[in-house]
Amino acid sequence: MAVLGANSYGKAECRLVRVDRDGPHHRLTDLTVSTALAGRLAATHLTGDNTDVLPTDTQKNTVYALARHGVATIEEFGLDLARHFVSGGGAVEQARVTVQRHPWQRLGEHSFARRGDETRLAVVTASAAGAWVVGGLTGLVLLNTTGSEFRGFARDRYTTLPEAADRILATAVDARWRFADLGTGWDGAYDAAHAALVDAFTQTYSRSLQQTLYAMGERVLDAVPQVAEVRLSLPNRHHFLVDLAPFGLDNPGEVYVAADRPYGLIEATVAREGADGPGLAWDWAGRS
């Protein structure tokens, strides 16, 4: 006998660009918004009865309609959307809204240039029991040319990796941090967390990427008291020294090949002692 398990549905990756035209100094907000609704929705799966199904097209329209009233921060916008979807008193009992903000660099009063792949994000979940907010970022690419080693690791019959006393350490940070409450200065918290991640990476002598990850998570908790826990995913972007001996050349740590795959992937949560709440495991499983 089959039993319906956990389920949700929504509209993925609604592209939204808002231009604030208060005077000649325009402000550009570029977002990707995804919604996911859950609740008493078994009937549509089991019998095809759509009575309680709010169409995903309606969810998309709601994103644009609420954007007409302004987008202050992505956390606030996500809260407005999530609370809207659970306020109707229908079958929807929980709403999760994921908002990604794409960075643009100002060139003039009304001119902009897209700035790299680094993306700020927020994941907001609301239900009758309350709401919680997860902030974060993706695509923060960091590299140290020295100050990193990897030695003393376990070996077995298949180990061929030599020890490295001095190596390039590079990664593309994917981070999520859960706020303990909603009374938070969102922009200030993001700026502080971002700076903490960068400072910890650059200032930590790394004996392993795991050690660096923990230092980065700990630094975020120190810098942002409102954060209860931070989850980090750090791919190890390997740089291998090229053997130039066949060409009669030495290579004193100057010429490398940057390998894109396979790569090591280090993931962990660093939590404030005694922190309670929903935790980040649910969020990480879906990479939302």
Catalytic residues: 11, 56, 238
Residues 163 and 170: their CA atoms lie apart, in Å, by 17
Dihedral angle at the C-alpha atoms of 171, 215, 231, 149, nearest 10 degrees? Answer: 40
Identify whether the C-beta of residue 82 lies closer than 8 Å to the C-beta of residue 76. no
- Taking the C-alpha atoms of residue 217 and residue 38, their distance in angstroms, rounded to an integer, is 31
Among 101, 275, 91, residue whose Cα is nearest residue 194: 101
Nearest by Cα to 230 from 199, 269, 288, 189: 269
What span, in angstroms and rounded, lies between the C-alpha atoms of 252 and 245? 11
What is each CA distance from 230 to 65, 142, 143, 156, in whole angstroms?
32, 18, 21, 33
